[in-house]
Structure 1
């Protein structure tokens, strides 16, 4: 087995290979090299999980995250072009228009360079994000203007701030759940999906999760003493509310913290209802203050379902529509979209039931707060109308902070490893993508054999702390 410090550099080499290939024009060979770089990082990360106990402390993992993430800072947006939508929406707001009313094509014009960089799926759709994120978008547009390179860097810095909050919060959540902090950091923060989609992909889910997890950590910390520290709890609730005003799913953490408070005050459904009313009122007050204070108003409430306007092939609730629609087309019936709508309704019902079941178990002490957060977000992702690879991190990061050693943790590792390579870094024709993936398999397999031979010849040495 390779030592941890060797695996660190194997992962760095994989990231470097990926970044270099994205800066070079080419067909299948270049793409194969890029995907092979992804595979090397996934390989290094997976093997690193077997030698965590060799590490001197958790700082080693944090510095490894810095090392692996640094090359991605200079890469173009990878795996998704959503950041171009962020930039266009910010420009709309900077022009004094409402990003919740106008899409990039209507507000900026179809001939605008900013509109052209936005995916065709989203050129005519308004922003689906909360007013806090729209404020950040407007600020960035006001500073960088229409410079796409500066805009990407600015948004990357925002998402790195979110990632820093995640790095801060995960060990604290792991401690609250009785799980090893180094395991939680390795599984929840150092995993390739975080690097691909929060750093390289510049997704605002990083900021949402950072605020949500930090708020949850603050809130749970306030419950550790005999009396609730309401000042600390208030900070936690405000951070969670801020996360929900970036992207709404963060609101789930309010339910978790509310149930934790109710459990401390008697663990009855009546007490939970009272706390729930207070949580809803508080969230409404914060939302109103931010919506009015930013000048965006409440238009964001009517665009929350914008992302669901495109049928997500990864969402299990849509499979029902695709299947029945396909069968129906054989008999001349065009029912795909109707049945997808039915599947979404079923999904919402399952989410409501699942969240209620998890809250019941948390209230009665059968599930700790961190596990409840991970379980509820897992239900939201699995049965929501849209699923993207980076959505998996909504549930994976809190689950990494609470899952014990065993099958459930191994399943999570497998899911993260698979979804880390399911999307290519850049788009291409089907033939190029297939050839690229086949070539990358050969490269990664050869690399693994070479690394295995190196490991057999290497004498184990203690890992030194970078601090």
Structure 2
């Protein structure tokens, strides 16, 4: 490895370590965590100066990691064979400190903890909220989960129950075990994103840089430990098997096809959203020259095998198919950055001025968006070249994500690996996708560092710390874009030789 690459990786590692340190002060902890008895942690969480230092450290760490990510692209965008190992090594090294970080940017991890407890208590998480459990709030779960049914599949609930059976009353052990599950997903991402890029004829190192080394993925999948990591990793592994099955014959064709279905079904059993991939998995399995009768045959085979497996998953857990109906109806609400939410914001504001809840506007547009996404998926199932099925699947999944008024930052990581493998984000003759993905990554880093802070209420400093974090972000972006021509050229120039 060249000294320049070592320096960039070390620089990113420093950023990741700063995030780890900052998380001790403003990350999410359960009320009785042993960490809260450490002198340094007490100061970082209970004194204004300590909290301010933690906020600055966390936010600065995010921007150092982001800067290192851009510099890594600058060093490795020549598409030579040595680039992929460098990018992969960077992703692994930058991720390592986050295994020990206090959860940041989200506390959904503690909802997993309590849902695992629900399963162990013999309750049905699809009909029972975590508020039925003793000490559920002290276990760190956001109050929004109190009465809500789980939005996760039975397979993940089994894993959550297994984690809690091993962890017992230790939230710290549970967090580490959930993180290890997410690491399995990230490992699958790091393995199969480059493999899919190779199959699509695009640069594996660029795809790995966009996805595996992306700070948003590292924080969302490791620091926050979203179970989407496992869902995405399994789906990518299954997609690669389907692509290879379509290009193979004989026993290998069938073995890889069945493996593809098994992996994608496991992904669906984690979160239902990857169900949208199934018809395209069938098309990939059928092969690039499949006739219409062959396509329908493989659709039937895919639906039969996957449907049987999903019924079996529900039956083993005692949920039947009720879990599917619950999950289909999940996900109401809106986030202000979602395209549909932006589009109807004036109407929602007018509705609010009339003394009505704007929720009806967002719920209505959400329903229309779902209908629209179904139409797009059906269209892409039946229209388009058979040798472009992977690309069609990517756009179908994107429609499902983007035609919703509710888009959490980590939802973009559902489709980012697919777009990365197609080369759409990094082709030098089309720079705006790279500008978009770096801009979106930076925006969500700034938002997460400012909005998702655990600050004691008695300090009455929530707004102050948010503004402090935003100020650090402004300084960070300014320094990166205006004082470093290399980082600036990655975003604004499609020429690998630009400096």
TM-score by length of 2: 0.82
Q: 1:372 aligns with which of 389, 392, 396?
A: 392
Task: Determine whether 1:148 maps to 2:171.
Answer: yes
Question: What displacement does 1:242 show?
Answer: 0.8
Question: Cα deviations across residues 433-465 of structure 1 (Å, max 9, x unaligned)?
Answer: 122221343356557888779xxxxxxxxxxxx
Q: How does 1:196-207 map to 2 (within 5 A)?
A: 196-207=219-230
Q: Which residue of 1 aligns with 2:130?
A: 104
Q: 2:90 aligns with which of 30, 55, 64?
A: 64
Q: Which residue of 1 aligns with 2:380?
A: 358
Question: What displacement does 1:36 show?
Answer: 1.3
Question: Cα deviations across residues 127-163 of structure 1 (Å, max 9, x unaligned)?
Answer: 1111100110111111112311011001000010111
Q: Which residue of 2 aligns with 1:259?
A: 283
Q: Specify whether residues 449 and 417 from structure 1 end up closer, same or farther in structure 2 by C-alpha distance, changes over 3 A only.
A: closer
Alpha-carbon contact 1:32-1:437 (below 8 Å) kept: no
Alpha-carbon contact 2:241-2:256 (below 8 Å) kept: yes
Q: Which residue of 2 aligns with 1:172?
A: 195
Q: Specify whether residues 414 and 326 from structure 1 end up closer, same or farther in structure 2 by C-alpha distance, changes over 3 A only.
A: closer
Q: 2:440 aligns with which of 396, 410, 415?
A: 415
Structure 2 regions of 5+ residues with no counterpart?
A: 26-43, 45-49, 456-461, 487-499
CA distance in 1, matches of 2:177, 2:286: 41
Structure with greater contact order relative to length (CA < 8 Å, sep ≥ 6)? 1
- Secondary structure of 2:422's aligned partner: coil
Task: Determine whether 1:75 maps to 2:101.
Answer: yes
Alpha-carbon contact 2:341-2:405 (below 8 Å) kept: yes
Question: What displacement does 1:338 show?
Answer: 2.1
Alpha-carbon contact 1:29-1:436 (below 8 Å) kept: no
Larger displacement relative to structure 2 (307-316 or 289-298): 307-316
Q: 2:368 aligns with which of 346, 350, 366?
A: 346
Question: What displacement does 1:238 show?
Answer: 0.9
Q: 1:441 aligns with which of 474, 477, 482?
A: 474
CA distance in 2, matches of 1:325, 1:31: 33
CA distance in 1, matches of 2:115, 2:249: 47
Q: How does 1:223-242 map to 2 (within 5 A)?
A: 223-225=246-248, 229-242=253-266
Larger displacement relative to structure 2 (213-222 or 350-359): 350-359
Q: Which residue of 2 aligns with 1:458?
A: none
Alpha-carbon contact 2:409-2:444 (below 8 Å) kept: yes
Alpha-carbon contact 1:315-1:385 (below 8 Å) kept: yes
Q: Which residue of 2 aligns with 1:195?
A: 218
CA distance in 1, matches of 2:91, 2:141: 30
CA distance in 2, matches of 1:416, 1:311: 19
CA distance in 2, matches of 1:143, 1:333: 50
Q: Specify whether residues 261 and 240 from structure 1 end up closer, same or farther in structure 2 by C-alpha distance, changes over 3 A only.
A: same
Question: What displacement does 1:30 show?
Answer: 2.9
- Secondary structure of 2:270's aligned partner: coil
How many residue pairs match? The answer is: 445
Structure 1 regions of 5+ residues with no counterpart?
A: 454-467
Question: What displacement does 1:63 show?
Answer: 1.9
Task: Determine whether 1:250 maps to 2:274.
Answer: yes
Question: Cα deviations across residues 228-283 of structure 1 (Å, max 9, x unaligned)?
Answer: 71111110111001101100121222221222345546443x55444333322222
Q: 1:325 aligns with which of 348, 362, 366?
A: 348
CA distance in 2, matches of 1:223, 1:96: 43
Q: How does 1:266-277 map to 2 (within 5 A)?
A: 266-268=290-292, 271-277=294-300
Q: Which residue of 1 aligns with 2:453?
A: 426
Question: What displacement does 1:120 show?
Answer: 1.2
Alpha-carbon contact 1:325-1:334 (below 8 Å) kept: no
Question: Cα deviations across residues 15-67 of structure 1 (Å, max 9, x unaligned)?
Answer: 11111122132334431221111011111101211220377242222221221
Larger displacement relative to structure 2 (228-237 or 189-198): 228-237
- Secondary structure of 1:23's aligned partner: helix
Q: Specify whether residues 329 and 78 from structure 1 end up closer, same or farther in structure 2 by C-alpha distance, changes over 3 A only.
A: closer
CA distance in 2, matches of 1:329, 1:409: 35
CA distance in 1, matches of 2:482, 2:347: 45
Question: What displacement does 1:165 show?
Answer: 1.1
Question: Cα deviations across residues 315-339 of structure 1 (Å, max 9, x unaligned)?
Answer: 3334455432321333x35152222
Q: Aligned Cα RMSD in Å?
A: 2.5
Q: Which residue of 2 aligns with 1:6?
A: 7
Q: Specify whether residues 196 and 379 from structure 1 end up closer, same or farther in structure 2 by C-alpha distance, changes over 3 A only.
A: same
- Secondary structure of 2:302's aligned partner: helix
Q: How does 1:48-59 map to 2 (within 5 A)?
A: 48-52=72-76, 53=78, 56-59=82-85
Question: What displacement does 1:284 show?
Answer: 1.6
Alpha-carbon contact 2:5-2:86 (below 8 Å) kept: no
Q: Which residue of 2 aligns with 1:460?
A: none
Alpha-carbon contact 2:21-2:57 (below 8 Å) kept: no
Question: Cα deviations across residues 337-372 of structure 1 (Å, max 9, x unaligned)?
Answer: 22222201220122022223333444x24x623322
Q: Specify whether residues 115 and 377 from structure 1 end up closer, same or farther in structure 2 by C-alpha distance, changes over 3 A only.
A: farther
CA distance in 2, matches of 1:378, 1:315: 13
Question: What displacement does 1:126 show?
Answer: 1.8
Q: Which residue of 2 aligns with 1:127?
A: 150
TM-score by length of 1: 0.88
CA distance in 2, matches of 1:451, 1:225: 48
